[in-house]
Amino acid sequence: MAARFGGRTVLITGATSGIGRAATLAFLAEGARVVAVARGRERLDAMAAEAGCERLIVEAADVSDGDSMERLAQRVLDTVGAPDVIVANAGIGLDARFDETTDEALRSVLEVNVLGVVRSVRPYLPAMLERGSGRVLLISSIVGKRGVPHYTAYSASKFALHGLADALRAEIYGSGVSVGIVCPSSTATEFQQRLKRIGPEQKKKRPRLHSVESVARAILKMATSRRREIVLSAEAKLMVFVDWLAPGLVDRLLWHYLVGRRKKR
């Protein structure tokens, strides 16, 4: 059976860990040429050595640095041309109550999770539009569909991606370039260990974790379709539905499980 992405170029940010790494390996397995982008050169080189695949191109760049991303885009466009698929995956989190979230902390989340996504897509879009084809995938979260306590900054950044995607779809309608969003819930990655916290760590029960491989499979599925959005896990789909039906009930349940229980301890 022919590889689904043979001859196609995929650019992935946040490519050396978690969902980004799994997606990189999955696209390589399907025949794609992958431009893997991350901040750390050492981890990029280690991944390249492990993959042992000439179709893997590693590029060190920081999505929070506009100049770095512009230089990256110029290198990519000059060497391999406009990507066929962009997976804007790089992101950071923040666990903090709203009243403890400083301007600096909020700004750092928005810099990576919103502006970083813009910088991962905008430089390539003119060439994709000129070619008349391409797929842009933004990696959001279930908290981009329904905000939860202690994640106001992170939720705001992920909600912003949905507004960005809606506006961009209308701007480029009929161009041949499409935009999709992938919304995982909790995933078994390094994300929680790297998560910045203000105040004590939240001792809360988490839903069953996705594997990074299952999220990568969803990304591949979205890359071959024009579907607007996919929400992963039955629990996340249920929360979205109940929030649409009775948002006040979800407020109460989230307070009980994530706020009230802590106050009682």
> What local confidence, expressed as pLDDT, does residue 206 receive?
55
| Sheet order of strands, 229-231 included | 56-60, 33-38, 9-13, 85-88, 134-139, 177-183, 229-231
Catalytic residue among 124, 151, 154, 257: 154
pLDDT in tens, the chain (265 residues): 458 999 999 999 999 999 999 999 999 999 999 999 999 999 999 999 999 999 999 999 999 999 999 999 999 999 999 999 999 999 999 999 999 999 999 999 999 999 999 999 999 999 999 999 999 999 999 999 999 998 999 999 999 999 999 999 999 999 999 999 999 987 555 555 566 766 655 555 555 567 888 999 999 999 999 999 999 988 888 888 988 989 899 888 888 878 875 554 4
Q: In the annotation, is 173 catalytic? A: no
pTM of the predicted protein model: 0.91
> What local confidence, expressed as pLDDT, does residue 265 receive?
47
Kindly report, residue by residue over 99-153, the tens digit of the pLDDT.
Answer: 999 999 999 999 999 999 999 999 999 999 999 999 999 999 999 999 999 899 9
Gap between the Cα atoms of 97 and 104, Å rounded: 14
